[in-house]
Amino acid sequence: MQKPWEGRFRERTEKFVEDFTQSVSFDKELALWDIKQSKAHVKTLQKAGILPEEEASLLLKGLEGIEEEVRQGRFDFRVELEDVHMNIEAELIKRLGEVGGKLHTARSRNDQVATDEKLYIKDSIGEVLELLRELRKSLVRFAEKSVDFVMPSYTHLQRAQPIRVAHYFLAYREIFLTDAERFINAYRLADCLPLGSGAVAGVDFPLDRFYTAELLGFNRLCRNSMQATADRDFILDLLYACAVCGMHLSRLSEDLILWSSEEFGFVELPDRLCTGSSIMPQKKNPDVLELIRGKTGRLYGNLLSLLTTLKGLPMAYNRDLQEDKEPLFDSLRAIKDCLTGMRLVLEGMSLKEGRLYSSAGSFSLMTDLANYLVLKGLPFRQAHKVAGSITAYLLEKGKKPEELSLEELKSFSELYEEDALRLLKPEASADRRKVFGGTAREEVLRRLEVAKREEGLS
Ligand code: ARG
């Protein structure tokens, strides 16, 4: 197979080197965006008077034919042709003859590959944002179904205070909103056109780069040809957004895995999303959630891998940069799968309300007994001490707070009255937290309305 650079070389490329340096086995993923870019490049060359109209339209037709084959999965990518860019160019030359060789005028693979990647990333982020939106919608729907139920919240994985179940799911909706912002930021940073930068110094043809940017939907142009070809920071930003979002999905998975255990017994996962054991007949394992949690490893790894590749590279393009693609493709695939998996879990999961309720009471209510005294004028520190002594007393007696009598309460503080006993209910505790962002039913309902509106659900 002939190489584009054969004029300069006296030896054939070693087979090992061909295999070692090729990227087509993975960068073929960029093929459609490479063609899209090439079509815009042809138009720009024509506008600059470098390509006559007939040749430009031949090239465009040729590219469209190849595009069709790629879409149908029929295009034959060949390792000897190294990467996706040379595969497509070689095929164009094969189909059109000499005129095909004009496509690469005023372009280097260095500005070409960065442009492909940015086009690819912008489209992929669109997909991720859509999946994030679907996930947030399922969180909001779950919240809507669970406003009437209470459960314990945890700090240090110890029961803390009763909350409305919906409050928990709306918390994750807020978290995934911040993830969307990180992806939007990555989009914005990728939205800057490298093409026209050539190999490193800019091209020596009068290309109207603003026209190319318009054709390709870029809002900005890279303003320095060296930065344009050396830069892969826009991929780092995307990998970071994937890593953080993966971490959030992992934490949510961890909760749901715990909650689905017999020990917690808070939720039931649908059979269709679980797997069994080949040896223990009783098992129903939350594998989807475990794998979502597990994927976080590669999401972090991919970010660290590219950060390390970039460290110490001299200005400008170096072949090391080819190592940017597998982490990029891998993280995008993983995050899309995880978002889909989590949405399916939420759509199929059901709550075990009784178990949630019975876990929400008891010692989770001790803050309320303290705050009762605060409302009667006792400084919080003293009130905390009183409630602490009641806790110690209950633990000694093996009693629950709900079983306290007024006399017992009064023996700790004369300030307790009959109405203190009514505090000792999880829903009463939750519903006193009416502060903006708190877990009271009325406040949760208010937040739910806003969430529904923002997610287009009402
Ligand atoms: N496959 C290469 C990459 O991914 C394309 C750019 C190659 N440029 C070069 N000067 N060899 O980085």
Q: Which two tokens stand for residue 389?
A: 């002594």
Classify domain 6-105 by CATH number: 1.10.275.10
- Ligand 1: atom nearest CA of 82 is 1
Give the tens place of pLDDT for each residue, 126-145: 999 999 999 999 999 999 99
**Ligand 1 centroid – CA 194 distance (Å):** 14
Instruction: Give pLDDT, residue 283.
Output: 82
Residue 193 near residue 111, CB atoms below 8 Å = no
- Average the pLDDT over 364-372 and give the result: 89
- Average the pLDDT over 413-417 and give the result: 95
**29-38, 271-280, 341-350, 396-405: least confident range:** 271-280
Write out the residue limits of the CATH 1.20.200.10 domain(s) in the chain: 110-358
Ligand 1 pocket at CB < 6 A: 23, 27, 83, 109-110, 113, 317, 319, 321-322
- Ligand 1: atom nearest CA of 199 is 10
Instruction: Give pLDDT, residue 218.
Output: 98
Give the tens place of pLDDT for each residue, 299-321: 999 999 999 999 999 999 999 99
Is the predicted pLDDT of residue 1 greater than 80, yes or no? no
* % of the chain beyond a pLDDT of 70: 100
- Ligand 1: atom nearest CA of 324 is 4
Classify domain 110-358 by CATH number: 1.20.200.10
Predicted TM-score (pTM) of the model is 0.94
Instruction: Give pLDDT, residue 119.
Output: 98
CATH fourth-level superfamily of 361-454: Fumarase/aspartase (C-terminal domain) (1.10.40.30)
pLDDT band at residue 277 under the 50/70/90 scheme: confident
Question: Any idea which residues carry the catalytic annotation?
Answer: 156, 277
Write out the residue limits of the CATH 1.10.275.10 domain(s) in the chain: 6-105
Q: Whose Cα sits closest to atom 3 in ligand 1?
A: 322
Q: Whose Cα sits closest to atom 4 in ligand 1?
A: 322
Give the tens place of pLDDT for each residue, 400-414: 888 999 999 999 999
Write out the residue limits of the CATH 1.10.40.30 domain(s) in the chain: 361-454
**Ligand 1 centroid – CA 109 distance (Å):** 6
